[in-house]
Amino acid sequence: MMGQDDDFVVCEDGDEVDEWCYVFDPVLEGEESPRVNFSCLTPEEIIQTQKRQIQEIADLLVISPSNASNLLRHYQWKTELLHQRYWDNPEAVLKEAGLVCTTPDADEVLTLESPGECLVCCEEVAGPECCALKCHHRFCNDCWNSYLTVKIKEGEVARINCPAVNCKFSVPDTVVRDLVDKDIYEKYLRFVTRSFVEDNAQITWCPAPRCGNAITTDMLKGTVVQCRCGFRFCFSCHNEAHSPANCEQVKNWQKKCSDDSETGHWLGANTKDCPRCGVFVEKNGGCNHMTCRQCKHEWCWMCIKPWKGHTDYYACARYEKAQKKKAEKLKKNKKQSKMEQLEAQREEKRKALERYLIYYTKYLDYDAKLKNSPAETEKAQAKMKALQSEQSTLAEVKFIEAAVEMIFECQSVLKYSYVYSYYIEDNSSEKHIFVFLQEELEKTTQNLMEILESPVILTRRTETVDLTKLAQTKKDNLIYGVQHGLVENE
């Protein structure tokens, strides 16, 4: 893609100076569009979606909704897998899930009329005060209540088996409803609903704090979705939206930023061991005369020898002489001494740390800007409200809101662009193209931020709208380039 003149077009920006914008080829015919369909479900909609799915399975398999719910939980709400296995061998599927009843109107428990002994408390109990599944294991209602209550409070609702030892029969929802207290049954239903989201590969909770919504989509890999609360996140790893970096890069970056190994990396690059006691000593300026705070040993930073005999505080004759000898020796023998190896390793660590800090600083800069987005949103809304009260309608000032939202999207992409760029090999063709796209997006985003600060923003409406579209184009180009390759494979 690089190297052809027609890969570059001039993007008009009102009366401003034309900006060059790198444009990738459009989505080829037959390729899927990067935009995907997803739905945001409120807690009430989650329950309705769950009930609808249960009823569809019950109608299709001609079983009770209670058994359909148990089957779906057993197969982690994977309806296609359940369909396939059920029609291949219905009896085996029901047995595996601990179910017996197959018709909607079939009794799920035995009718007990005569008294019998409870297998838990060993008390003789009248028939109406007992309950037994099709496995014929009889328990009194009090023991049932205690057993089910404990299971529900512990969150074990995916499958509750008969209390009998080694019995694989599953307790139907209707039995749970009839044998536990109302508040416990409501908790049971909440756990079942939670399993509908957490065990379902096509649904996930919104990770935003205090948000109870869920997102459902058929696209499972690399999909960025947005909840109704406004939070944008990756459907695959549940982190905030991190394009253009992939999930693995974000995982490694987060580990790198929080790992103690970075502290060790800094120590190795910026400190030396005291030659007497071994404590870490940092030299952040000044002369080469070092005095250890712990053992009071005085030594030279350059040659690591005792300070006695040194006359120059800013140059070490011993070190320079040793370096000359080593240079001459290196010509004869290319094998490095242990000291040279340590120095080479220290220099390598220092360069690696400096490189990391460059990207980390920019990452933190955009992270801080995004954390300030609620305040910026309030500021924009206040400006829109003031303009409406003076001379405009809501439709005429809506472009301000669109521009602010575009700034946040671009800042998010730029934040993680430094994560992606960190893992690209320096001085490669891919790095050069990516940095160009990155700088172009930064420049346009900054211009858009500056124009929103204008006191006569209404007179620059067309310019703002055009700049918002330009930012959208550059953001999409950067992401598209990463997803489809910044350079052509030779």
Helix (H, G, I), strand (E, B) or coil at 312: coil
**pLDDT reading at 279 higher than 50:** yes
Residue 27 near residue 15 (C-beta atoms within 8 A): no
Alpha helices (H) in 18-172, listed in sequence order: 43-61, 65-74, 79-88, 90-96, 141-153
CA-to-CA distance for 8 and 24, rounded, in angstroms?
9
Q: What are the tens digits of pLDDT across the range 160-219?
A: 889 988 888 888 888 899 899 999 999 998 898 888 888 888 888 888 888 888 888 765
Alpha helices (H) in 154-291, listed in sequence order: 173-179, 182-198, 247-258, 261-270
CA-to-CA distance for 317 and 312, rounded, in angstroms?
8
**pLDDT reading at 222 higher than 70:** no
* Confidence at 104, pLDDT banded by 50, 70, 90: low
CA-to-CA distance for 173 and 99, rounded, in angstroms?
12
Q: What are the tens digits of pLDDT across the range 224-248?
A: 888 888 888 888 888 888 989 988 8
CA-to-CA distance for 222 and 340, rounded, in angstroms?
46
**pLDDT reading at 405 higher than 80:** yes
Residue 140 near residue 130 (C-beta atoms within 8 A): yes
Q: Which of 7-21, 136-150, 157-171, 193-207 has the lowest mean pLDDT?
A: 7-21
Residue 411 near residue 445 (C-beta atoms within 8 A): yes
Question: Which position among 229, 257, 277, 287 bears the catalytic label?
Answer: 287
What are the two backbone dihedrals, phi and then psi, of residue 18, each rounded to the nearest 5 degrees?
-60, 140
- Residue 122 catalytic? no
**337: which 2 tokens?**
């001494």
Q: What domains are there in the chain, each with its CATH number?
A: 58-190 (3.30.40.10), 274-335 (no CATH), 354-484 (1.20.120.1750)
Residue 93 near residue 68 (C-beta atoms within 8 A): no
